[in-house]
Amino acid sequence: MERAGADDSFFNSFGLPEGRRSAVLILFAPHPDAGEDVLLTQRSEVMRKHPGQVSFPGGGIDPTDADATAAALREAHEEVDLDASEVTVLGELAPVPLTVTGYHVTPVIGWWHDPGEIHAKSRQEVDRVVRVALSDLTDPANRFSAVHPARTFKAPAFEVDGLYVWGFTAILLDAVLKLAGLEQPWDVEDERPVPARFLLR
């Protein structure tokens, strides 16, 4: 995954007004079968924002956090019981603004060199923890464009391991796969409506 930090021009393309700061951990690891995987979570249905949706571990940067990396690792420990000593941080990408929430999100790239046991530690935040093989994410059969019914939104999306990955998480995944040189050609004209259960929450 060394190439992932080579060119983050996509992430540097945003102008950043003042906003709240948060961080997410994009954690890659050796897959038990072959190749590599990435850690994803499915948010709890009781969450006030984006319940049931797929995301990376992460959250707001607290005053006690040294930086975005510290925040991402802390949140991952709180959400899925990840041991930070098992992670090699490869770097941070430029913050990405989320206009809906007002947050500036810093993606932190990590390599899980010694994967231990993880689980949904905080049921108030996480319902499911999944390590998704990169070979499944890059498979063109699992990729499509998610489209809002009102045609106000069209962006890359994935459907793997029973997870519907769209929105900010899918956009980050798409960008990181490109940075790592792993993307395979896929049909961007395969447009599918975002399920209604995700639009009203």
Lookup: tokens for 83: 């041991």
The 10s digit of each residue's pLDDT in 91-150 is 999 999 887 777 899 999 999 998 999 998 877 778 899 999 999 999 999 999 999 887
Helices (H), 34-121: 68-80
This prediction has a pTM of 0.86
98 or 76, higher pLDDT: 76
Going by C-alpha positions, the residue among 103, 44, 106, 46 that lies closest to residue 79 is 44
Torsion, Cα 186 175 145 28, to 10 degrees, reads 80
In this prediction, residue 14 carries a pLDDT of 47
In this prediction, residue 29 carries a pLDDT of 97
Residue percentage of the chain with pLDDT more than 70: 84
What are residue 191's DSSP bridge partners? 145
Domains and CATH numbers, the chain: 2-11+19-194 (3.90.79.10)
Q: For residue 51, is pLDDT > 80?
A: no
DSSP string, 2-30: GGGGS--TTGGG----S-EEEEEEEEEEE
